[in-house]
């Protein structure tokens, strides 16, 4: 475990937090619509209790005001004809990978309790900036970053909630500019992997909030994806993919996997990052 204060520096105390120098903004931006045809291709598993999909990195999980086909939950309701479906856990819009939805309240409750008891295993694949050559465990509390212009941003702070993230390098680019890593979380805080990666000094490629400058996110809201943002961020979304969900400790004999998203695989090929075929 990396102790405080290295490499992130002393934890900020709540009384010493400065006010944000810019107007703080809520997360926003139009959600793209999903089609029934593409949703069908995302399905990894379906039975009487569960629907499991491999979500792309541009889809909102929770229902939005733009209609049922603008979110994963809404689209699944329309696709299955079920009155309700239950997200066991969510992924950020720009995170790809496995999402588990329960078809009935009993299964949903069972899995949500299992989540609270840390009985559901989650493993991610991420592309980080810089060379990470040794496994690292970050055990640092997370809370709201009130100094950020982005309302939803989290940060390491002394009065935050305990958060534990394990990073294990898979391969490093030939020029040491990037690392492909496996990430396992013990806790499930908002933006946990992204905030801990930033604290380590290895932010995710393409991360508009936790990357080179959080104002990239505000610029993206105002102007969309531009050449200037492409130069800073390299990818139009954060390079984070939920590769595996393990439900075996919940009494459901399932381990669900999704191959690494194609945009991340392509980035690896272009940047000299050797991605194992099994990812």
**Is residue 264 domain-shared with residue 156, that is, in the same domain?**
yes
Residues 98-110 pLDDT 10s: 999 999 999 999 9
**Is residue 193 domain-shared with residue 90, that is, in the same domain?**
no
Tokens representing residue 12 in the block: 């900020």
Q: Given 117, 135, 155, which residue is the final one in a domain? A: 117
Tokens representing residue 69 in the block: 């086909």
Structural domain including 66 reads 31-117
Residue 216 lies in a domain: yes
**Is residue 85 domain-shared with residue 127, that is, in the same domain?**
no
Q: CATH number, domain at 180?
A: 3.30.2350.10
Number of separate domains in the chain: 2
**Is residue 264 domain-shared with residue 132, that is, in the same domain?**
yes
pLDDT at position 15 over 70:
no
| Cα gap 73→56, rounded to integer Å | 14
Residue 22 lies in a domain: no
Task: Reduce the DSSP state of residue 220 to 3 states and report it.
Answer: helix
**Is residue 146 domain-shared with residue 224, that is, in the same domain?**
yes
**Is residue 267 domain-shared with residue 174, that is, in the same domain?**
yes
**Is residue 140 domain-shared with residue 237, that is, in the same domain?**
yes
Tokens representing residue 163 in the block: 């958060």
Phi, psi of 51 (to 5 degrees): -130, 125
**Is residue 135 domain-shared with residue 267, that is, in the same domain?**
yes
Percent of the chain at pLDDT above 90? 81
**Is residue 189 domain-shared with residue 231, that is, in the same domain?**
yes
Residues 61-94 pLDDT 10s: 988 878 899 999 999 999 999 999 999 988 999 9
Query: Hey, which residues are catalytic here?
Result: 92
Residue 15 lies in a domain: no
**Is residue 173 domain-shared with residue 193, that is, in the same domain?**
yes
Residue 39 lies in a domain: yes
User: Which among 79, 77, 73 is positioned nearest to 41, based on CA atoms?
Assistant: 79
pLDDT at position 9 over 80:
no
| Cα gap 171→11, rounded to integer Å | 30
For 6, counting Cβ atoms within 10 Å of its Cβ (0-12 exposed, 13-18 middle, 19+ buried), the class is exposed
Residues 145-198 pLDDT 10s: 999 989 899 999 999 999 999 999 999 999 999 999 999 999 999 999 999 999
């Amino acid at each position: 475990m990396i102790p405080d204060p290295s490499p992130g520096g002393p934890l900020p105390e709540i009384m010493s937090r400065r006010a944000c120098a810019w107007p703080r903004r809520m997360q926003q931006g139009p959600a793209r619509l999903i089609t029934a045809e593409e949703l069908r291709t995302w399905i990894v598993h379906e039975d009487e209790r569960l629907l499991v999909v491999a979500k792309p990195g541009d889809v909102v999980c929770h229902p939005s005001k733009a209609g049922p086909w603008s979110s994963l939950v809404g689209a699944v309701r329309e696709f299955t004809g079920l009155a309700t479906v239950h997200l066991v856990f969510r992924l950020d819009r720009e995170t790809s990978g496995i999402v588990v939805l329960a078809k009935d309240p009993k299964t949903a409750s069972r899995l949500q309790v299992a989540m609270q008891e840390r009985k559901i295993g989650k493993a991610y694949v991420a592309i980080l900036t810089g060379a990470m050559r040794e496994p690292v465990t970050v055990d640092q509390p997370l809370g709201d970053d009130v100094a950020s212009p982005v309302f939803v941003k989290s940060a390491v702070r002394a009065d935050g909630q305990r958060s534990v993230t394990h990073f294990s390098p898979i391969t490093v680019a030939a020029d040491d500019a990037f690392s492909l890593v496996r990430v396992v979380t013990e806790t499930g805080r908002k933006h946990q992997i992204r905030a801990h990666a930033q604290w380590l000094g290895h932010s995710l490629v393409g991360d508009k909030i936790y990357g080179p400058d959080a104002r990239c996110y505000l610029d993206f809201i105002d102007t969309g994806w531009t050449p200037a943002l492409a130069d800073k961020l390299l990818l139009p979304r954060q390079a984070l993919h939920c590769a595996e969900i393990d439900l075996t400790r919940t009494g459901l004999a399932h381990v669900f996997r999704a191959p690494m998203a194609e945009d991340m695989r392509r980035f690896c090929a272009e940047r000299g990052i050797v991605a194992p075929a099994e990812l």
